Amino acid sequence: MSTPTFDLFVIGAGSGGVRAARMAAQRGARVAVAEAGALGGTCVNLGCIPKKLYSYAAHFASDFEDARGFGWSASEPHFDWATLKANRAREITRLNGIYERLLLESGVTLLHGRAHLVAADTVALNGQAYRARHILVATGGHPVMSDIPGGELAVSSDAIFDLPQFPRRLVVVGGGYIACEFASIFRGLGAEVTQLIRADRILRGFDADVQRFLTLEMGKHGVQLRTNTGLSAIERRDGGLLLTLKNGDTLRADTVLQATGRRPNAHGFGLEALGVLFDEQGAIAVDADYASNVPGIHAIGDVIDRVPLTPVALAEAMVLVDRLFGEGKRRLDYALVPTAVFTHPNVATVGLTEEQARADHRQLRIFRTDFRSLKSTLSGSTERVMMKLIVDAASDRVVGVHMVGADAGEIVQGFAVAMKAGATKAQFDATIGIHPTAAEEFVTLREPVA
């Protein structure tokens, strides 16, 4: 049997892998993609997309309540978990089909199955060997699960979307963005939610004002946040789950979500035998051009230890394809990567936190405000919005933008463009605001805080 030969063989059809495959094929390269699961990777199937759909669903309860202040009255709304799951699954299936069509229409050879590297230029799949000038590993990551007694009774963020029954009592273990998002989502859908956080605050690595403000707002929405504690054991008891905490307290729950982090899917593909190096986090070690230490083997996305976000994986794919099949001029700057957290309320941020800026020994001017939005004045909601600008005093450049509030991601995206262009506080001040919006506050902040 002859051995098919490609210019690029991609292992993993997630966001980064699909983008790399399509762009390489459009440049005339012979490309194959191998995928053992559903097309689209974590983002489409078990991450960004379904999570955002569930976040939308979770907002309707408060929207129905808020509507009364605007003169609307209706019968008591009813939420159906099975309907949400079915509609989400149908949409994800549609997206899977779009990914397949994009690959095939680009001329990419799509292979279904788990690939295994047998040499730096050879991949085995379903009993067939494939040769390639370049091999790209874009296999994403997986949730970390606890090894505590009864840990197998918890579910991961991958499984939470399809729980057979909606949990009346949910305990979320973890303080990162995935844990906070699901705590907000299930609280909005009607569950009693307790969130256990090992540290003294949520969202490690975010600005301290964001951490404090979101903690208060999530509490207003009914999420019970318990800091400086962890889970030591889970057992089945009386038709539910009995949880023992590290401080000896107990909790009862219907479902426990373990959301304490993710790890790269870097092992089990034959990389070890080829001498590919890994970092201390278990990620594939790559250089600035996404090349491993073994010539011909490259990696991007969550399987490397950079910024595990879908748009970043897409950008990394473009840089790599340009290097392998283009002029090699494209570069990716990780310094100003905007991100959003779809909690209730949302969080969005770009640039430095105040703590990071001070660690650089910068002279800073900090602008911060929090207020009740116009919508809340009639609805009676106590939810507030927080906005913060961090300005380098010497250059007047805005080096950090942070927001907690409705549609924060939609608002901060535009300010990320301004920061990328090097916008100064004077330019923010000279910009006319759109009134009445929350976003205009970013261009009307005049007095720095002490």
The answer to whether 87 and 79 have CB atoms below 8 angstroms apart is: no
Q: Which residue is listed with tokens 């606890």?
A: 146
- What amino acid occupies position 180? C
d(Cα 14, Cα 253) in Å, to the nearest integer? 34
Q: Which residue is listed with tokens 């969202």?
A: 203
- What amino acid occupies position 329? K
Is beta strand 141-143 parallel, antiparallel or unpaired with respect to 169-173?
unpaired
For this structure, is 435 an active site residue? yes
Instruction: Give SS3 for 360.
Output: coil
For residue 85, how many C-alpha atoms fall within 13 Å in the half-sphere facing its CB? 11
Specify the DSSP class assigned to residue 134: E
Show Cβ contacts of residue 289 under 8 Å, excluding neighbours closer than 6 positions. 319, 320, 323
Tokens of 425: 């506080």
- Phi and psi dihedrals of 7, rounded to 5? -80, -35
The answer to whether 384 and 370 have CB atoms below 8 angstroms apart is: yes
Q: Which residue is listed with tokens 């408060």?
A: 62
Q: What is the dihedral of CA 5, 7, 11, 16, to 10 degrees?
A: -160
Q: Which residue is listed with tokens 């970092």?
A: 279
The answer to whether 15 and 313 have CB atoms below 8 angstroms apart is: yes
- What amino acid occupies position 229? T
Helix/strand/coil percent split, the chain, to 5: 35, 25, 40
The answer to whether 13 and 317 have CB atoms below 8 angstroms apart is: no
Q: What is the dihedral of CA 334, 337, 340, 341, to 10 degrees?
A: 20
Specify the DSSP class assigned to residue 187: H
Tokens of 373: 């939005």
Which one of the listed residues 78, 116, 267, 435 is annotated catalytic? 435
Q: Active-site positions?
A: 435
